[in-house]
Amino acid sequence: MRIESQVHEPKVDEWFNYDVFLSFRVGTRHSFTSYLYGALRQSRIHAFMDDSGLERGEEVSASLMQAIERSQIALVIFSPKYAASRWCLDELVKIMECQRSLVQVAIPIFYEVDPSVIGRQTGTYGEAMERHEERLGRENNGVMQWRKALIAAANISGFSSSEYQ
């Protein structure tokens, strides 16, 4: 006699609250990101776009981290100033963690920035990371996680805005 497993595997709609999580720097909110969000909604794709507008010094909230965890897909909109935001970098670390452990799909969108700038951390990305190191210390665990997440994300096949201009 065979005993069936009593473990209940969650269905997609039981586990995920969102189809897509949008990670972006505020500078793209009223341009590219809002158009993308509108197109997703129009296509009946349930997308999460944070409208809380975190204030300087605030930590990324637990509810925001949960929204990342509970999304099937994370679209990371890398813009020239993305790495200047500690909140964006914290989101990116969480997204890359979820990609590894929860089989979340992470898709980078390179908006007005080349993936090599992100991966090598040159240009605005290099400058931003240097500022973070000056403030937090070169050996700071958070800074090292941010650097690793940037490298990993830059190596994912994504979309570049230069291809569509």
Q: What stretch of H or E contains 106?
A: strand 105-110
Q: What is the dihedral of CA 36, 42, 46, 47, to 10 degrees?
A: 20
CA dist., res. 75 & res. 33, Å (int): 10
Q: Kindly state the tokens that stand for 134.
A: 């000056």
Integer Cα distance of 59 and 153 in angstroms: 22
What value, to the nearest 5°, has the Cα angle with vertex 92 and ends 116 and 26? 90
Which of 4, 69, 91, 139 is an active site residue?
91
Tell me, yes or no, if 127 is annotated catalytic.
no
Q: State the Cα angle at 162 between 92 and 24, rounded to 5°.
A: 25
* Residue whose pair of structure tokens reads 């970098």 in the numeric block: 89
By annotation, the residues acting in catalysis are: 91
